[in-house]
Chains A and B, each alone.
Chain A
Amino acid sequence: MKSKFILAIIIIMLLMTACGKKHDNTVKIAQQYGLAYAPIQIMKEKGFLEEALPNNKIEWVKLSNTAAIREAVLADNLDVGFMGIPPFLIALDNGMKWKMMTGLSSCPIGLVTYDPNIKSLKDFAPTDKIALPQPGSIQHILLAMACEKELDKADALDNQLVSMKHPDGFSALFAKQDIKAHFTSPPYLFEELADEDNHMVVSGEEAMGTEFTFIAGACTEDFYKNNQEEYNAIKEAVKKTIEYMENNKEETLDILSDLYQMDKEKVESYINYEGMEYYTDIKGVDEFIDFMVRNNYLEKSYKSEEVIWQ
Chain B
Amino acid sequence: MAMRKKYLHRIMWLGLILIIWEAVYYSNMYARQIFPSIEQIIKSLASSITKGDLLMQVGFSFIIILKGLIIGIILAVLFSFLDYFFKKFSSFLDTIIGILHPLPGIALLPLVIIWFGVGEKAILFIIIHSVLWPMTINMKTGFRSVDKEYIEVSKNLGMNIWQIFYYVLIPLSLMHIVSGLKIGWSRSWRALISSEMVFGAIGPFGGLGWFIFEKRVYMDTAGMYAGLLVIIIIGMIMEDLIFGRMEKACTKIYS
Contact = CB atoms under 8 A, between A and B. Distances in A.
A161 B116 CA distance: 18
A28 B87 CA distance: 59
B114 A163 contact: no
A220 to B, nearest CB: 10
Contacts of A87: 217
A137 to B, nearest CB: 7
A134 B217 contact: yes
Given A16-B29, A74-B33, A178 B217 contact: no
Interface stretch (A40-48, A88-96, A210-218, A258-266): A88-96
B214 A135 contact: yes
A199 B199 CA distance: 24
Contact of A96 (B33, B116, B199, B214): B33
B33 A163 contact: no
A164 B220 contact: no
B217 A137 contact: yes
B218 interface: yes
Given A5-B16, A74-B33, A168 B113 contact: yes
A193 interface: no
Given A94-B33, A163-B213, A172-B113, A9 B220 contact: no
A95 B32 contact: yes
B34 interface: yes
Interface in B197-213: 199-202, 204, 210, 213
A179 interface: yes
Contact of B213 (A9, A74, A95, A134): A134
Interface in B27-65: 29, 31-34
Interface in B108-139: 110, 113-114, 116-119
A175 B24 contact: no
B238 interface: no
Given A74-B31, A171-B113, A164 B118 contact: yes
Contacts of B31: 74, 96
Interface in A169-220: 171-172, 175, 177-179
B118 A90 contact: no
A90 B117 contact: no
A175 B33 contact: no
A129 interface: yes
Contacts of A284: none
Contacts of B34: 74-75
B113 A159 contact: no
Nearest to A177: B117
B220 A67 contact: no
B216 interface: yes
Contact of A162 (B116, B201, B216): B201
B8 interface: no
B20 interface: yes
B113 A175 contact: yes
A12 interface: yes
Interface in A87-113: 87, 90-91, 94-96
B219 interface: yes
Nearest to A160: B204
A9 B20 contact: yes
A67 to B, nearest CB: 5
Interface string A114-146: 000000000000000101001111000000000
A54 interface: no
B162 to A, nearest CB: 40
Nearest to B196: A163
A8 interface: yes
A126 to B, nearest CB: 10
Contact of B114 (A91, A95, A135, A175): A175
Interface string B230-244: 000000000000000
B110 A171 contact: yes
Interface string A1-23: 00001001100100010001000
A166 interface: no
Contact of A172 (B16, B33, B117, B204): B117
B139 to A, nearest CB: 34
Interface string A30-63: 0000000000000000000000000000000000
Contacts of A74: 31, 33-34
28 contacts: A5-B16, A8-B16, A9-B20, A16-B29, A70-B219, A91-B219, A96-B31, A96-B219, A134-B200, A135-B217, A136-B217, A137-B217, A159-B204, A161-B201, A162-B200, A162-B201, A162-B202, A164-B200, A168-B110, A171-B110, A171-B114, A172-B117, A172-B118, A175-B113, A175-B114, A175-B117, A177-B118, A178-B118
Interface of A: 5, 8-9, 12, 16, 20, 66-67, 70, 74-75, 87, 90-91, 94-96, 129, 131, 134-137, 159, 161-165, 167-168, 171-172, 175, 177-179
Given A9-B20, A66-B217, 8 more contacts: A5-B16, A70-B219, A96-B219, A136-B218, A159-B204, A162-B202, A165-B199, A171-B113
Those 6 A-B pairs whose CB atoms lie nearest each other, nearest first: A163-B200, A177-B117, A178-B117, A94-B219, A136-B217, A134-B217
